[in-house]
Amino acid sequence: MLEALTGTGLAASAGLNAYIPLLTMGLLARYSDLIDLPSGWAWLSNGWVLVILALLLAVEMVADKVPVVDHVNDVVQTVVRPTAGGLAFGAGSASQTVTVSDPGSFFGSHQWVPVAAGVLIALCVHGVKAVSRPVVNTATAGLGAPVASTAEDFSSVVLSILAILLPALVLIALAGLVLAAMWAVRRRRRRRAARPMEDVRTAAPFG
């Protein structure tokens, strides 16, 4: 079960930022004994892969903090984040960590299952992020974009670390994401409901 929680946390992290969980796993596998990647995922700890992931992360972090540009980035990341989520879940759930000593016992030979699960989890989290960002930008005239992006990046880092070191706490972090999703959906519904009233008020003087 800890394998599933580790993979879920990493995939959810990828839904917020595609490169943070992959970079976290690669760095920990290369420079520590906290995670032991299986042979099929050892490329994540390759030096060149880590450099490329770091560069992509830098671009992502800048683009995601600029209003309008962040929307374009979310459109592009609709493919990237679920893909990263599949990779993160697959690699994380198949790795030996400080909490998972027998990673092959849960998923067995069905190697496609964790990858598919990671894609779906990351896609759902990405969808919430993409829906909530316009709400934040509109409510704050764009000033909230860098704040929201920084909070998402921080959450992605925390999720990645918890998934590897304390996977049981991933459930608490996921509960926080669910609450954030509910808030975003409610705010968006309220905005849509308020638009007809605003249109009526605007048109009234000319009636």
pTM for this predicted structure: 0.81
State residue 97 phi and psi, 5-degree precision.
-125, -175
Q: Cα(131)–Cα(71) distance, rounded to whole angstroms?
A: 10
Q: Cα(128)–Cα(100) distance, rounded to whole angstroms?
A: 30
pLDDT at site 97? 76
List the single range of 69-73, 155-159, 169-173, 183-187 with lowest mean pLDDT.
183-187
* Per-chain mean pLDDT for the chain: 82
pLDDT at site 168? 78
Q: Cα(76)–Cα(157) distance, rounded to whole angstroms?
A: 21
Percent of the chain topping pLDDT 90: 35
Per residue in 120-166, pLDDT (tens digit) is 999 999 988 888 888 777 777 778 888 889 989 998 999 999 998 88
**Is the pLDDT reported for residue 204 higher than 60?**
no
Closest CA to 40 of 115, 105, 106, 132: 115
Q: How many domains does the chain have?
A: 1
Per residue in 24-38, pLDDT (tens digit) is 999 999 999 888 888
The structure tokens listed for 97 are 């960590």
Name the band, by pLDDT with cuts 50, 70 and 90, for residue 200: very low
The structure tokens listed for 108 are 């067995």
**Is the pLDDT reported for residue 100 higher than 90?**
no
List the single range of 3-12, 59-68, 137-146 with lowest mean pLDDT.
137-146
The whole domain housing 154 covers 2-206
DSSP-derived 3-state class of residue 98: coil
The mean pLDDT value for 160-175 works out to 84
